[in-house]
A and B are shown apart, each in its own frame.
Chain A
Amino acid sequence: MQVLIPSALYSYTGQTRVEADGATLAAVLADLDRRYPGIRFRVIDERGNIRRHIRFFFDGEMVQELTQALRSGGELCIVQALSGG
């Protein structure tokens, strides 16, 4: 599937859209980490929680669990939450 990468993670991918495979959010992130080592830990902590200021959307719907199934051919967006200062 296509994965849309936020600017804060360009240093890993070098591009805004990349390919990754997997039947769940966890599997897609594991595949992304194989292709771009280190990227997963920046968005998922060691307890398996989505980091506080990161959101995932799959075909426009928010994904809140790593176990959620994702159908092939869709688009996963990794988004920096609107927070800061």
Chain B
Amino acid sequence: METESAGLRRVVLLVATRKGSWLYHGDAERRTWRVDGPHFLGHIISHLLLDPRDGRTLLAAAKTGHLGPTIFRSTDLGQTWKESAKPPAFAPPRGDMAGRSVDHTFWLTPGHADENGVWYAGTSPQGLFRSADGGETWAPFSCINDDPQYRRWMGSEKDGTPDGPKLHSIIVDPRDSQHLYFAMSSGGVHESYDGGRSFSTLLEGMEVVDGFNPDEVTFHDPHCVRLCPSNPDRLYQQNHCGIYRIDRPAQRWIRIGRNMPEHVGDVGFPLVVHPRDDNTAWVFPMDGTQVWPRTSPGGRPAVYATRDGGASWHRLDGGLPASQAWWTVKRQAMTADRQDSVGLYFGTTSGELWMSRDEGQRWECVARHLPEIYAVEAAELAWAER
């Protein structure tokens, strides 16, 4: 369990947007933020992450409007960047299976703490990739990407979210580098106990859109799955159809979103877990009614928190616009730091970066007028690291 106290490590926010990325370096109190950027102005950056194992290596999942996808690497906290020699790309198709091309890398996850240099990537359309050399070269997981059953579960490239179906929420069990989870929108939640040589579904209890068959894996649409660092047997999930919790080794997800206020509902994209308390999680509900506006419900954005594992939820909107705010927050664009008290951060589809120093009680805007924000990550560095 992490027990670091405030001030021992500084927070750097890694903001990935539709038009580039920015780094925001916080002071000791997380009150002022020094901006570093733009990096990759004009490039579509889906995810930007710091390697927690070395505190220096950044990976950025990039493409541009015209060019194909790639991964950029920095080993000096973004002062210089170098492109991966072999970015994620699907293997040639086998037999009569249709070939696919990676449109963009969507999700990045560092490997286990004991596996230096290992990274995982999820792509659109759905593909799982692994790097063993710090992101320089990437190899596909054929047992997923080229498996006929998985390909059927992924649906066609026209299925899934408006800008392409995605593989995301790649999770490495902190106790066991061979125990992996990932999720697909659409295509369900999956796990492996052998480092990715084989996977099985983890769908029981998850609901699907009315009229569809929940026994069909392809109809399951998890939006974001998070594992609790303080209790790796507990995972939370924000799904197209509700908010869920599971306590392993149980196989069944429990729809804790049923306890959300009915007028708000339990649809959304991001979900954030507390670094030290497995009963605490935060979501950012959005309007999923009728044509799925994907805005804050009623134009009144709010975070909702549970402190009891999902038995109850309470609204946290102090400092947020009280009306006529029609933005929302994407699945990678909300995160927490590990300070005491925990800082929460989210970036909006309208290009605003918000933070709370008190676990969501009070919010303030850190930056405005950025491009549409796709991802926000809170990295923590020792003070000497610049």
Which residues of chain B are near A6, meaning CB under 8 Å? 66
Docked-complex contact A83 and B65, CB < 8 angstroms? yes
Docked-complex contact B99 and A38, CB < 8 angstroms? no
Binding-face segment, B2-10, B81-89, B249-257: B81-89
Given A37-B85, A38-B85, A41-B89, do A47 and B68 touch, yes or no (CB 8 Å)? no
A-B contact count (CB 8 A): 53
SS of A interface (majority): loop
A36 CB to nearest chain B CB (Å):
10
Q: Does A66 contact B (CB under 8 A)?
A: no
Q: Nearest CB to that of B91 among chain A residues?
A: A46
Which residues of chain B are near A44, meaning CB under 8 Å? 68
State how many residues of chain B have any CB contact under 8 Å with chain A.
18
CA distance A47 to B100 in the complex (A): 7
Q: Does B384 contact A (CB under 8 A)?
A: no
Given A37-B85, A38-B83, A41-B89, do A49 and B101 touch, yes or no (CB 8 Å)? yes
Contact of B70 among A38, A54, A85 (CB under 8 A): A38
Docked-complex contact B101 and A42, CB < 8 angstroms? no
CA distance A47 to B92 in the complex (A): 7
Q: Does B116 contact A (CB under 8 A)?
A: no
B146 CB to nearest chain A CB (Å):
12
B44 CB to nearest chain A CB (Å):
12
Contact with A along B60-74 (1 / 0, CB 8 A): 000011111010000
Q: Nearest CB to that of A40 among chain B residues?
A: B68
Docked-complex contact B68 and A42, CB < 8 angstroms? yes
Q: Does A51 contact B (CB under 8 A)?
A: yes
CA distance A43 to B101 in the complex (A): 12
SS of B interface (majority): loop
Given A46-B102, A47-B99, A47-B101, do A41 and B65 touch, yes or no (CB 8 Å)? no
B178 CB to nearest chain A CB (Å):
28
CA distance A83 to B92 in the complex (A): 29
B130 CB to nearest chain A CB (Å):
17
Which residues of chain B are near A83, meaning CB under 8 Å? 65-66
Which residues of chain B are near A18, meaning CB under 8 Å? none
Which residues of chain A are near B68, meaning CB under 8 Å? 41-45, 51
Which residues of chain B are near A81, meaning CB under 8 Å? 66
Q: Does A60 contact B (CB under 8 A)?
A: no
Q: Does B90 contact A (CB under 8 A)?
A: yes
Given A38-B83, A38-B85, do A51 and B67 touch, yes or no (CB 8 Å)? yes
Residues of B within 8 A of A (CB): 64-68, 70, 83-85, 87, 89-92, 99-102
